Structure 1
Amino acid sequence: MPEGHTVHRLARLQRRRYAGRPVAVSSPQRRFTTGAEIVDGRVLVDVQAHGKHLFQHYGPDTTVHVHLGLWGRFPNRTLPQEPPRGQVRMRMVGETHYADLRGPAACELLDDVGMKELRARLGEDPLRDDADPARVRERFARSRVPLAALLMDQSVIAGIGNVFRAETLFRTGLDPMTPARDLDDRSFALLWDDLTEMLRDGERRGRIETLRPEHDPAQLAPPDRGAVCASVVYAYRRTGQPCLVCGAPIAHAEVRTRNLFWCPGCQAGGSARPLTER
């Protein structure tokens, strides 16, 4: 499933290519026909993201809400447009580009009340200017849920998935099983700041790269071609491989049906330890 940085990057791209101009909207698959007919030919006012949700605003009481889910794709292509292929839920056509939405978990038209209700169910998004980390801190302080589970709760922090969950816990040196309420203020601040830094970097790059140069075997001079891992992440999907910082084998477990990866050596405590202190 795309994590929050991907959806924010998509929103930025669609703002640049479609916003401020009329957009032709259709539903070749015919599963969004009524919504498409309502917004077809209207000016796309703005495109925003909140966590893993995309919002195309066409004016008061008229917002197309998209959640890509596990299989959804929304690629943009240069005109002229080709005939729709496969199950295209929604096609939008602008002056220079067009985009086909396939396989989303949600594609629906919302009024302002529906938008408000949906946004109220979402947690704070570190990539949004209106994010309030104090609200997240309050939720953490009241919860016995382990960090590994609470970080995946979209009603607490929106946009975090498996990769960012594993990597931020590693980079801050936090034991994934630490109850959220046991974090002190310093540890929470380091966790929030690290998430924000990684998400912004991911949005800018269009991919997730969490290794610092001193820990990336591919960036050593001369390159360490015999390194066990020249990956761009510290823990995610590196089960059994040596930690790039301490050498301990990366561990794996399932937490609430989702895969978790961590280093027992670097993540042995409930207080944050930045990479620079290890």
Structure 2
Amino acid sequence: MPEGPEIRRVADRLGKVLVGVPLTQVWFAFPELEAMAGRLRQTHVTAVDCWGKALLVIFADGHVLYSHNQLYGVWRLHRSDQPPRTNRILRARLSTSRHTASLYSASDISLWTTETLERQPFLARLGPDLLTHDVSTGDIVARLGERRFASRGLGSLLLDQGFYAGIGNYLRSEILFYAGLRPMKRPKDLSDTQREKLANSILTTILQAYREAGVTNRPVWRKRVQQAGERRAQWRFAVFDRDGKPCHACGATIQRESVASRRFYYCPVCQQG
């Protein structure tokens, strides 16, 4: 399932072709939404944003189209005169004279307004989005110290979207590797220096994943693997999905275990903090 960086990139791609451009078609598969299609076609898109794994299309009249891809949903961009060939079920379509954004297979779609959006059940449970809400390292350090988070094991806390939205399973392993921490550690167990390092790891890792299309490995490490002819799956990450392989930093064997019912990867040498 895509994580925050992937959804942010989708939002950016949609925004480039939809924002500020007159709409020629607005169509929904669901009758309660289709009733609003004519009105939305008379306005235009002012922004395409995301919050965690939810995508938000914001219209000039104040309406907001909420969609969550869940396991199978996907937005596809294509020329308006060249719809893609697919067996997926079309759920929504927003078209300009040149481009179309088509949403396939998603079932969680609804219309809100900028005033009512905070009451959307999924969004109401989310913490700030690391790529949308201008989060700083200091913000993360402060949040780690809050009572509701300080006693949680990091392995489960990082997956809790109420802590910060957008961190998924591959990011969790990568973040804790760069922070030098094991998943059973709690924020309250950490020194000030460790909390600062963890906060920096959270922010820099998700920003790198966003900028480099899901790649979180350090350039010098991945270059070495690329030159050896390895496939992308082996050079994309520092530790995730690399059990049995040598650590890029120290050469120890990467281990895998289950943490919070999800697979977790770590270096037993680098992560002794």
TM-score by length of 2: 0.85
- Deviates most, 59-68 or 27-36: 27-36
Q: What is the 5 A alignment of 1:138-177? A: 138-141=142-145, 142=147, 143-177=150-184
- Deviates most, 57-66 or 20-29: 20-29
Is 2:200 the counterpart of 1:198?
no
Structure 2 spans left out of the alignment, 5+ residues: none
The alignment partner of 1:74 has SS state of: strand
Contact 1:28/1:90 (8 A) holds in 2: yes
Q: Distance in 2 between matches of 1:139 and 1:60?
A: 35
Shift of 1:210: 1.9
The alignment partner of 1:149 has SS state of: helix
Runs of 4 or more consecutive aligned structure 1 residues displaced over 6 Å after TM superposition: none
Structure 1 spans left out of the alignment, 5+ residues: 270-278
Q: CA RMSD in A?
A: 2.7
Contact 1:145/1:179 (8 A) holds in 2: yes
Residues 214 and 258 (structure 1 numbering): CA distance in 2 closer, same or farther, change over 3 Å? closer
Partner of 1:63: 64
Partner of 1:131: 135
Q: What is the 5 A alignment of 1:68-87? A: 68-82=69-83, 85=86, 86-87=88-89
Partner of 1:3: 3
The alignment partner of 2:163 has SS state of: coil
- Deviates most, 87-96 or 29-38: 29-38
Residues 267 and 83 (structure 1 numbering): CA distance in 2 closer, same or farther, change over 3 Å? closer
Q: Distance in 2 between matches of 1:188 and 1:98?
A: 44
- Deviates most, 118-127 or 67-76: 118-127
Residues 77 and 268 (structure 1 numbering): CA distance in 2 closer, same or farther, change over 3 Å? same
Partner of 2:47: 46
Residues 69 and 236 (structure 1 numbering): CA distance in 2 closer, same or farther, change over 3 Å? same
Contact 1:154/1:160 (8 A) holds in 2: yes
The percentage of aligned residue pairs carrying the same residue is 28
TM-score by length of 1: 0.83
Residues 32 and 248 (structure 1 numbering): CA distance in 2 closer, same or farther, change over 3 Å? farther
Aligned partner of 1:77: which letter? H
